């Protein structure tokens, strides 16, 4: 009986660890994808300077939501 309880506890712990790993694993878009989208954002504005960081951050956010 005690070994069944230990096995159950071990299985529950493995399940919890797997769930935590799934939750904490975050899809991070590659920098090349971010750069490409940021480029298109800049292009749509006519490459007006001063918006580079905003373009990058917006592209990063958009890709992380998809």
- Whole-model pTM: value is 0.57
What's phi and psi for 33, nearest 5 deg? -70, -40
Q: By the 8 A CB rule, do 41 and 47 touch?
A: no
Helical spans, DSSP H, in the chain: 2-24, 31-44, 52-65
Write down the pLDDT at residue 9: 76
CA 37/CA 59 separation, integer angstroms? 6
Write down the pLDDT at residue 11: 77
CA 49/CA 66 separation, integer angstroms? 27
Residue with tokens 């940021």: 38
Output the tens digit of pLDDT for each of the chain's 66 residues.
566 687 877 777 877 777 666 665 666 678 999 999 999 999 999 999 999 999 999 999 999 886
């Amino acid at each position: 009986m005690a070994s069944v309880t230990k096995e159950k506890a071990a299985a529950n712990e493995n399940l919890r660890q797997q769930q935590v790993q799934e939750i904490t694993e975050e899809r991070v878009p590659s920098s090349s994808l971010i750069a490409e989208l940021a480029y298109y954002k800049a292009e749509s504005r006519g490459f007006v300077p001063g918006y580079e960081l905003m373009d990058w951050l917006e592209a990063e956010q958009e890709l992380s939501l998809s």
